[in-house]
Amino acid sequence: MKKIALLLCTILAVGSFAACSGNSADNTSNAKTKQESDTAGSSADKKAAEDVKDNPLKGKTIKVGCSATFVPFESIEMKPDGTKDYVGMNIDLINAIVEKNGGKVEYTDMPFKSLMAAIQANQIDMASGGMAPTEEREKTLDFSEIFFYPRNAIIYREDDNYPDLNSLKNKKVAYVFGTNYQQVAESIDGAETVGIQGSPATIEEVKSKRADACIVDGAGATEFLKTNQGLKMSLLDKTDDCFAFGFPKNSPYYETINGTLKEMMSNGELDKIIADHLSEEFILK
């Protein structure tokens, strides 16, 4: 009888030990799984943080200032729902660069002359590409690679004929205020010059006979003449004027945006955007 009792106790002890061993194994397994899960989550968070550090545009909305009267480079079209749609060559280029880096763009329309002040006041993160990196501007801004060389044009009434700048001697010439066209206009011998806000208003000065001619971008002039009858255009030779993106000094986005721009310049993506909006004669050689 004692032997039977001893045998039962032994069986119960072994079963209890096995159960405890099973619970211990389960607990160890659960702890290991939780640790692996925590490690994986920590690694994912670390990788996400590294991605943001490596690419400051990822997941961000960058504020871009533009002068949206600059057809065909940057302008506004109204959607059926009444919201604004920013369109043009510069707009397509900026959108492509930012989207390649996982970011989004928010545009702000303002007069061209206000862009530099807006950058310096941190109201915008960058200015779109109608800005040339002059020595004076480079004192306060950083500029991207030059990606476009425009050709200037003279717009005048069809009854007149101004084939070149010399033909505008002693004439009244309008230009877009704050742009490099001011220097072009003021270089004309004996010309009376007047600065106007925006290309459309500048062309209106000519149509209304308040000016004999105006100096504007050649690509924009081509577009304006499609909808403005009674005007003619003389396309001028390529100059040192150029387009680049403007940034505040030490911008966190400069290296990323400029790097992507250089890639698009080398792989032909920029050329396609230029050809789509203008023509191949405007592509950088």
Question: What string of DSSP letters covers 4-54?
Answer: HHHHHHHHHHHHHHHHHHHHHHHHHHHHHHHHHHHHHHHHHHHHHHHHHHH
Kindly give the confidence (pLDDT) of every residue in the chain, 285 residues in length, as a single tens digit, with 9 standing for 90 and above: 444 444 434 444 444 444 444 454 455 555 555 555 555 455 544 444 444 568 999 999 999 999 998 888 999 999 999 999 999 999 999 999 999 999 999 999 999 889 999 999 999 999 997 888 999 999 999 999 999 988 889 999 999 999 999 999 999 999 998 888 999 999 999 999 999 998 889 999 999 999 999 999 888 888 888 888 999 999 888 777 889 999 999 999 999 999 999 999 999 999 999 999 987 877 876
Predicted structure pTM score? 0.65
Q: Which residues contact 58 (CB under 8 A, 6 or more apart)?
A: 51, 52, 101, 102, 103
Which SS3 state, helix, strand or coil, does residue 2 take? helix
What are the structural domains of the chain? 61-149+242-282 (3.40.190.10), 152-235 (3.40.190.10)
Phi (first) and psi of residue 273, to 5 degrees: -65, -45
